[in-house]
Amino acid sequence: MKKDMTPEEKARCVIDDKLCQSGWAIQDLKRLNLTASLGVAVREFPTSTGEVDYTLFVDGKSVGVVEAKQSQAGQSITDVEVQPGRCRQSA
């Protein structure tokens, strides 16, 4: 990773790496091809209430989301637990 990356760029690199190691094909919405692989992770996927960081598709169907959060303490999980629920609204 480059030293001058923003926290968001660093988080995306880490998440992309972990998803790739787990067998997910990572795509941007502009190049969406849900048949490219059995498992496709789409960055910045729109929902009715805003974008989620990644939406996970298996065999073309939405199965979950990945939301990046700061690694430092300070934000309670209860403050952000409703965010992944947005995925259901777009499926």
Q: What is the largest CA-CA distance in the chain?
A: 39
- Structure confidence by residue, pLDDT tens digits, 18-77: 999 999 999 999 999 999 999 999 999 998 888 999 999 999 999 999 988 766 655 554
Phi, psi of 72, deg, nearest 5: -75, 150
- Helix (H/G/I), strand (E/B), else coil: 49: coil
Can you give the pLDDT at residue 91?
43
pTM attached to this predicted model: 0.73
Q: Is residue 90 over pLDDT 80?
A: no
For the cut 80, the answer to whether the pLDDT of residue 79 exceeds it is no
Kindly indicate the confidence band of residue 1, based on its pLDDT and cuts at 50, 70 and 90: low
pLDDT at 57 (0 to 100): 97
List the alpha helices (DSSP H) in 1-91: 7-21, 77-80, 86-90
Strand order in the sheet with 39-47: 25-28, 39-47, 50-58, 61-66
CB 34 within 8 A of CB 57: yes
Are 49 and 64 in contact by the 8 Å Cβ rule? The answer is: no
Position 75 scores a pLDDT of 52
